[in-house]
Every structure is written in structure tokens, then in C-alpha cells.
Amino acid sequence: MFQVRIHGRGGQGVVTASELLSVAAFDEGRHAQAFPTFGSERTGAPVVSFCRIDEKPIRSREPISEPDAVLIQDPTLLHQVDLFGGLGHDGYILLNSERDFTELGMDDFTADFRPERVRTMPATAIAREHLGRPLPNSVLLGGFAGLCDQVGLDAVTQALRDRFPGKLGDMNTAAATAACEYVRASLAGGVHA
């Protein structure tokens, strides 16, 4: 089973991101589940959402304490919440930030991870360019498709089109595609972004 934990703030589409990821995995023929956990339901409050992906039915319903991947929609959570708890050194990290891990003062932490599995990307900037709004959720899903092989970009973009028909779906698909290309380019360059 592959387990993803998504951190963000209320209003950033954290819950929607995990739902879309589960739909993309399901559309590829696998079993998936998505569910959130959060405290006060207000814009800006920390929110965590979970997604499990497996080849067989998923029986577990508890929050993910040992994720295989962590997606972080809001970098201001870095020093407020234990974002990386339970994440092994073979795990994936995708962080929405225009700064790299060195600039964020995290290179000591990320040094223990496989360099091809740890990335920052300017998800908010990509969202503004393609959506006209700073909503990083679909962007991070596209970046995740470029970072690991758990879900393909085609499945992510189809889930986005199904959820957001018409022009909004096209804009989200363009944002996710740009993010996937960004991550793949950073991996091809061998940069520990």
C-alpha cells in the first residue's frame, strides 16, 4: 500500500487534492481511499488529508502515521506542524516553495533522503499563472505525478477534468501539466531542489 499525507491550510483545496489523487488511482485500476482530518473548520487553519493507494481492497481507516509521501501546500506550516512525522528516508517530499531546501534551512534534514525523491516547486506561482488564483492543490498533484510512479499525469488530468468541467478543468489540467514538466525537468537536471 502507498500512503500519501497532504498538509495545507483551510481554503487551499487539501481535501480536494486527496480526493482527486484517489480518483486518479482508481481510474488506473487500483483501489484508493481519501479522507481528511482537521480541527477548527476555518479558512487558514491547518488541514491534513490522506490518500491510500493499493492493488487490493483497503480496509484501514485510521489516519496515516507512516506516509510514503508528504505533499505540503503551504510552506508556512514548516515550523508549526510536524509535517514529516513517520516519513521514512525512502519517502517522497513535495513542498510548495519558490525556495529550495538549502534556502529553507532544511538540507541537513533532506540529506538523509534519496535526492530524486525530494523536491520543492513554485506551486502557488504556477497556479497563479494558469488559474489566476493561488490554489496549489492541482499543481501539486501534477508535480506528484512527475515525482513518482504511483499515479500518471493522464489519470490526474482526467480526474481534474471530471471534477472541474469546461474552462476550469482546462486551466487545472494546464497547471498540473506544467507542474509535472517542472518536476521532471528538475529531476533530469539532477538538482536537489
Is residue 123 pLDDT above 90, yes or no? yes
Determine the length of the chain. Answer: 193
pLDDT at 190 > cutoff 70: no
Does the pTM of the predicted model rise above 0.85?
yes
Q: Does pLDDT of 144 surpass 90?
A: yes
End-to-end Cα spacing for the chain? 27
Going from N- to C-terminal start, the domains of the chain cover: 2-188
* DSSP character at residue 136: -
48 band by pLDDT with thresholds 50, 70 and 90? very high
Per residue in 1-40, pLDDT tens?
Answer: 999 999 999 888 999 999 999 999 999 999 999 998 765 5
Burial bucket for residue 50 (CB in 10 Å: 0-12, 13-18, 19+): buried
**Which value, in Å, is the radius of gyration of the alpha carbons in the chain?**
15
Between CA 8 and CA 177 the distance in angstroms is 21
Contact criterion met (CB below 8 Å) for 49 and 32: no
pLDDT value of residue 184:
96
Mean pLDDT over residues 68-72, rounded?
Answer: 98
Q: Is the pLDDT of residue 42 over 70?
A: no
Answer yes or no: are the C-beta atoms of 183 and 119 closer than 8 Å: yes
Q: Which residue has the higher pLDDT, 11 or 113?
A: 113
Does the pLDDT of residue 77 top 90, yes or no? Answer: yes
Report pLDDT for 160: 97
What's the pLDDT tens digit per position in 164-189? 999 999 999 999 999 999 999 999 88
Which pLDDT score, from 0 to 100, does residue 41 have? 61
**pLDDT score, position 61:** 87
What's the pLDDT score for residue 39? 58
Class of domain 2-188: alpha beta
* C-alpha to C-alpha distance for 37 and 192, rounded to whole angstroms: 31
